[in-house]
Each structure stands twice: as structure tokens, then as C-alpha cells.
Structure 1
Amino acid sequence: MSYASRPYAAMPGAATHGRRFQYYDLIMVGFVTVLLCSNLIGPAKVGQIELPFALPGIGESLSFGAGNLFFPISYIFGDILTEVYGYARARRVIWAGFGALVFASVMSMVIIALPADPAEPFNATLQPALETVFGNTARVVIASIVAFWVGDFVNSYVMAKMKLWTRGKYLWTRTIGSTIAGQGADSLLFYPIAFLGIWSAESIASVIAFNFAFKVLLEATMTPVTYAVVGFLKQAEGVDIYDRGTNFTPFSIKD
């Protein structure tokens, strides 16, 4: 039977407890990979693009953190996980991403702090480069981890609840609505924790507004891709999970 014709069952998450899925682990790996790359590589560079016309308050060029191009993809993965596999399995993936992000941050700090061997000539250029790329302050690291954890759980919770409210219809309302809530929480936490007292309140508010709008716009633009992936996975896995009776505590990794 082809994926296009294979039936799938709408069922509560508890009905699939202990079941193994064909693509779940691959989606988890994709989520964690995007999360790590966007948090470790992206923040090191500020990009700039020239606009075809001047925008009020922005001008003719637009500067942005390069990681913002890819970090919203993790929210798309989160939407797909919650929509297809349910909140409980999405929760496991969020904790996997949290653990990976904490480990990568600690590893970066340890490697940067290790004394460089002066006998190796490349260390003279490598050490400053590592400090520039991976040497985030403790505030930025904490802000990134906290904002990710809260934002992703808000995103998944809203996604699961809206699926019940809409009875599984209008997927686009859930993907965009959950992103508005999740990315809003992420931005409202990250920038004040990382930069309050360093940047002016006006600058923080401006950056929050721009990044929030950009991330939501990207989610909306990617809606056709989300629809295609969700449809494929539901057919391939043979399920469509609704979180009826789910324990929505974030402090668990049970499915």
C-alpha cells in the first residue's frame, strides 16, 4: 500500500505508548542539529542585505543576526513533532535539544579556557578566533538556554491545545499561532536576559519586534512545506495523535 493511500488513525497519545515510529528519531536528529548550529554558529555573525527601497526606521539596508535565518526551522520541526507524534514525544525532543545545547555550551567554555600550547604556531590565530566565535558571555549562554526551553515548550503546548480546539482542522492556524506564542516567549526572554543594562531599552524593544516579526513571517512562508511533511508522516506512520488526557507538565520525558 502506498503512503498516499495508507489510512491513519486519529487517536490519543496514550494509545501509542511504547510504540516505535519509523521517522521519529530522524526528526529528533534534525531538530537538535538545527538548534545547535543556529545557536553556536549563527550568533557569531551579523549579516546585512541591501533593500530595494528604504523602510521607515530601518533605511536602505537591513542588519540581522545570521542565526535568525535558521533558528525558526527548529520551531517548524517542533510543530511537526507535536502535530504528528503528540506533545509527550515532542517534549522528549525538547529535552534532548536542551541537553545538547547545555553540553555544547559547557564544551565551548572549557575548550576556550584551556591554556593554548605556545609551541603550536596556529594557536596564535586559532585561540582568538575560537573566543570570537564561541566565546559568548555567561549571560548570553543562560539567556539562550532559558529562552529556548520556555519558547519551545510554549510552542508545543499551544500547538497541541489548538489541535484539540480546531478538531484537527486548519493546520495553518496552529503552526502560525503556536509560533507567535513560542517565538514571542523566546524573544521576550532572550534579549532582556542577555543585554538588559548593556543595550538601551529602546534598542532591545526594536530588536525583539524585528526578530519576532521575521521568525513568524518565515513560519508562515514555510507553511506549504509543513503541510507536505505532516501529511507524509501521518500517512507513513499511520497515526494522527490528539493530546486528550495528556499530562502537559514539561518536567517529564515519558511518552
Structure 2
Amino acid sequence: MSAIPASAGPAGRVYRYYDFVMVAFVTVLLCSNLIGAAKAAQVTLPVIGTVTFGAGVLFFPISYIFGDVLTEVYGYGRDRRVVWAGFAALAFATFMSLVVLNMPVAPFMADYQKSLQDVFGNTWRIALGSLIAFCCGSFTNSYVLAKMKLWTSGRWLWTRTIGSSLAGELVDSSLFYVIAFYGIWPLEKVIQVAVAQYVLKTGWEVVMTPVTYKVVGFLKRAENEDYFDRNTDFTPFRVRV
């Protein structure tokens, strides 16, 4: 008997867009973690004043939107596959950065090496924080959305996309900044940046809710799928659906 492909649904039906959503998820994840993850940006807003936040906050929440879409349309099990694919990609990118930056550099590239180190030379704590926070936050997001879909009988999509993001982003932001910067930054700065990042990321997801609705609606029609995780094994420690 031939194996059913990863993007296959019930009875061997192949999903048309699942693989594309997976690729988009992993791309956003890698870019948001490699570009700007360690940079603290600062803007001055009316009334609020000066706000300090992680630069990656502008794009990282998009990965959570993809997580919402995957769980809502295809179910927790298929989102779990994508999360582990993202984890593997992020782990390899971290390993590759470590190897490349520590290779002997040609003399004429000495100045450029410093630039590479500044951009890609994340400390082991930042790398570890990114991996742990991503996994825990993503699985929390997917689990909460899947359960809320059952509780609401598939109604009120906005409640579970926002509710799951509130839970997942809280886990992600708390873990990342504590693991990566506790003892390096002043404690008040760790808390300030983590809180600002959490508020900005969840606010960004709320603003993007109409887009999430459109993508979910399109995929449900195109795939003829609206998965309910009634008999799902919610353990995160497996790849099979």
C-alpha cells in the first residue's frame, strides 16, 4: 500500500494549498527570527510616550495568523506538523549561523566578518529562547484554538483567533525575553520590552482579523474542509497526523 502524502486529507484526498501555507509559515518564522529578533526598537507615540519593543514584532505575529488558519481549516494535527517543520528549519538556521560565523575568515573579509557577527551572531541564549518560546507558544495557540472551536461549535471565529493568540503570544513573549535577556538587561527593561511586545503582537493580530477571515473562508471553500478536533491526540510530541 502506498503511503499517503503529508498533505493528504481523509480517504487520501490531497489538499491543494496546505503545502503552500506550510512554506509561507516557515518563511515568515525564519525571517522574523533571523532579522531583528535581538534588536530593541523604540518609537514615541502620542499620549503613550516612548515605547520599546523587539523589532521582530512587526512580522512574527504573521506566523501566528498562519497557525490559526492551519488549525481552523486543517486541524491541530496538521498544524503540529508545520510547527515541527518550523522548529527544524529554525534549529538548522541557528546551527548554520554558528558554523559559518566560526569558520576562519579570509584577511580581506575581516571587516565584513564583524558585520556578519553583528547581524547573525545571536548568543546561545537568544537562539535557545527563540526555539523554546516558538514551540511552546505555537502549540499553546493551536491547542486553545482547536478547543475553542469545539466549545463554540465552529461559530464566532474571531473569538478563537484572538483568544488563542492572546494565550500563545503570552507564552511566547514571556519565555523568550526571560530566557534570552534575564541577567543581561535590567529586569525592568526585560519586563517592559516583553509587555510591549505582547501588546503590539496581539494588537496586530486583532487588526488582521478581517484578513484571517478572508483566508480561512477561501481555504475552507477551496479545500472543502472545516476540521473539528473531536478525537485528536493533542500531544505535541509527534509528527504524524
TM range (shorter): over 0.9
Find the partner of 2:205 among 202, 205, 219. 219
Alpha-carbon distance change, 71 to 205 in structure 1, aligned in 2, over 3 angstroms: same
1:37 to 10, 20, 31: 31
In structure 2, the CA distance between the partners of 1:30 and 1:198, relative to structure 1 (3 Å rule), is same
1:127 aligns with 2:113: yes
Q: Counterpart of 1:11?
A: none
Give the equivalent residue in structure 2 for 1:8: none
- Within 5 Å, which residues of 2 pair with 1:18-57? 18-43=12-37, 45-51=39-45, 53-55=46-48
Contact kept in structure 1, 2:54 and 2:193, CA below 8 Å: no
- Cα 1:45–1:139, aligned 2, differ >3 Å: closer, same or farther? closer
Q: CA deviation at 1:208?
A: 1.6
The residue type equivalent to 1:27 in the other structure is V
After TM superposition, the score normalised by the length of structure 2 is 0.93
Match of 1:6 in 2: none
Equivalent position SS for 1:169: coil
Map 1:193-232; keep pairs closer than 5 Å.
193-232=179-218
Task: Assess, with a 3 A threshold, how the Cα gap between structure 1 residues 198 and 169 changes in structure 2: closer, same or farther.
Answer: same
Distance 1:207 1:44 in 2: 11
- After superposition, the Cα gap between the structure-2 partners of 1:17 and 1:188, relative to the gap in structure 1 and judged at 3 Å, is farther
- In structure 2, the residue matched to 1:105 is 94
Instruction: Work out the CA distance in 2 between the residues paired with 1:236 and 1:160.
Output: 21
Alpha-carbon distance between aligned partners in 1 of 2:160 and 2:182, rounded to the nearest angstrom: 32
The letter for the 1-side match of 2:157 is L
Task: Using the aligned pairs only, state the percent identity.
Answer: 59
Q: Do 1:44 and 1:134's aligned partners in 2 also have CA atoms closer than 8 Å?
A: no
Query: 1:65 Cα deviation (Å)?
Result: 2.4
Name the counterpart of 1:115: 104
Is 1:87 matched with 2:81?
no
Normalising by structure 1, we get a TM-score of 0.88
C-alpha distance in structure 2 between counterparts of 1:111 and 1:17, whole Å: 45
Residues 107 and 240 of structure 1: CA distance in aligned 2, closer, same or farther (over 3 Å): same
Unpaired runs of at least 5, structure 1: 1-13
Larger RCO (CA within 8 A; separation ≥ 6):
1
Q: Is the 8 A contact 1:44 1:132 kept in 2?
A: no
Matched, 1:142 2:128: yes
Contact 2:53/2:196 (<8 A) preserved: no
Deviates more, 1:84-93 or 1:191-200: 191-200
Gaps of 5+ in 2: 1-7
8 Å CA contact 1:34–1:70 kept in 2: the answer is: yes
**Cα distance in 2, alignment partners of residues 242 and 214 from structure 1:** 30
Deviation at 1:128, TM superposition (A): 0.4
Please tell me the root mean square deviation across aligned C-alpha atoms, in Å.
Answer: 1.5
- Tell me how far 1:50 sits from its aligned partner: 4.0
Taking the aligned partners of 1:169 and 1:179, their CA distance within structure 2 comes to 17
Number of residue pairs the alignment of both structures matches: 234
In the alignment, which residue of structure 1 is the partner of 2:3? none
Say which of 165, 179, 188 aligns to 1:179. Answer: 165
1:152 to 138, 141, 149: 138
Distance in 2 between the 1:17 and 1:246 partners?
17
